[in-house]
Amino acid sequence: MIRAVDLRKSFGGKDGDAVEAVSGISVDVGRGEAFGFLGPNGAGKSSTMRMIAAVSPVTSGELRILGMDPAVDGPAIRGRIGVCPQEDTLDTELNVLDNLYIYGRYFGLPRAEVRQRCEELLEFVQLTEKAKSKVEDLSGGMKRRLTIARSLINRPDLLLLDEPTTGLDPQARHVVWDRLFRLKQQGVTLVLTTHYMDEAEQLCDRLVVMDKGLIVAEGSPAELIRTHSTREVAELRFGIGENETVAPKIEDLAERIEVLPDRILLYTQNGEEAIAKVHERGLDPAMSLVRRSSLEDVFLRLTGRTLVD
């Protein structure tokens, strides 16, 4: 469905002052797959998505969407994909049904056909009762569902979702996940960006972690955890200021140790065993727990804990 080889995107000046947002990534997404781009803000996820959506021209490298070249067949590609952008881009002064209807018309679908699809899609995203409401008056979650419904009006082979649940409350997120999961079951290829690890674990069969315009890791969520983290993590709290002094005494107990202001993280295959050894050495943490490694650990390891804007 998507094949990218050494894909690059830069903005701005023609020569030296150009900013490179995507610095040479290669990905392959197959039919029916749910594929995720993870990364902190500014990693190049949205730029990549805009190129895949056949909207933003590729600076260099090769890109094929549904076997077509976006530089040549942009409209044909866009006719067969669905796009759920980061910002809803709805016409807030029109009502819910009108927003859906006019969008269907952009694809050149006959009016009666669009009307019928609108009905089905409003049902699918549970907005049938809101059909005549102005978009302005909808909650964030409802707008997102409408945007998802809109992206499905052309019955796309490939659905692109740029941060589909950012800014939604937990209830709304779960409704969106549920709908996306159903689409996946129907065989729609999903490509999404997110910086929520739970979202990636829930939805993605396979994902890449991007940082500073490059892919830094690739695999299924389980593979990534296996490759880039340990099976378990032991978290120990010794009290403010003590963590740093204790750390050197226990660092040999784990494959990797991380000292944070409020706690120490021991990355290990067996967390209980590590904690037992800590106690054997006469150290008595105020609190300790063992948990499984998560995608979040992988993510933070690969992209760092430093805040990026």
Question: Which stretches of the chain bind another protein, using CB under 8 A?
Answer: 11, 50, 53, 55-57, 74-76, 78-80, 83, 85, 87, 89-94, 98, 101-103, 105-109, 111, 150, 154-155, 157, 186-188
By beta-carbon proximity to another protein, the closer residue of 53 and 298 is 53
Phi (first) and psi of residue 213, to 5 degrees: 85, 5
d(CA 43, CA 203): 20
Q: Are 39 and 210 in contact (CB under 8 A)?
A: yes
DSSP state of 130: G
Cβ 48 to another protein, closest distance in Å? 14
Cα(257)–Cα(255) distance, rounded to whole angstroms?
Answer: 7
Least Cβ distance, residue 190 to another protein (angstroms): 13
- In terms of DSSP H, where are the helices of 27-95? 45-52, 70-80
Query: Rounded to the nearest 5 degrees, what angle is found at the Cα of 263, between the Cα atoms of 259 and 267?
Result: 60
CB closer to another protein out of 65 and 246: 65
| Nearest in space to 295 (alpha carbons), one of 207, 197, 211 | 197
The nearest distance, CB 101 to another protein, in angstroms, is 7
- Closer to another protein at the Cβ: 110 or 239? 110
The nearer residue to another protein, 94 or 197, going by C-beta atoms, is 94
Give the shortest CB-178-to-another protein separation in angstroms.
Answer: 19
Nearer to another protein, 170 or 187 (CB): 187
- One-letter amino acid for residue 240 of the chain: I
Would you tell me the crossing angle of helices 111-124 and 140-151 to the nearest 10 degrees?
Answer: 140
User: Do the beta carbons of residue 194 and residue 163 sit within 8 Å?
Assistant: yes
- Beta carbon nearer to another protein, 99 or 165: 99
Smallest distance, Å, CB 155 to another protein?
A: 4
Give the shortest CB-174-to-another protein separation in angstroms: 25
Residue whose CB is less far from another protein, 74 or 219 = 74
Q: Please give the Cα distance from 249 to 264 (Å, whole number).
A: 12
SS3 (DSSP) at 210: strand
For residues 7 and 3, give the distance between their C-alpha atoms in angstroms, rounded to a whole number. 10
* Rounded CA separation 28/191 (Å): 11
Q: Could you tell me if 180 and 145 are in contact, meaning their C-beta atoms sit under 8 angstroms apart?
A: no
Q: How is residue 132 written in tokens? A: 């005549």
Least distance (Å) between residue 26 CB and another protein: 23
CB of residue 298 to another protein, shortest distance in Å = 31
For another protein, the closer of residues 116 and 269 by Cβ is 116
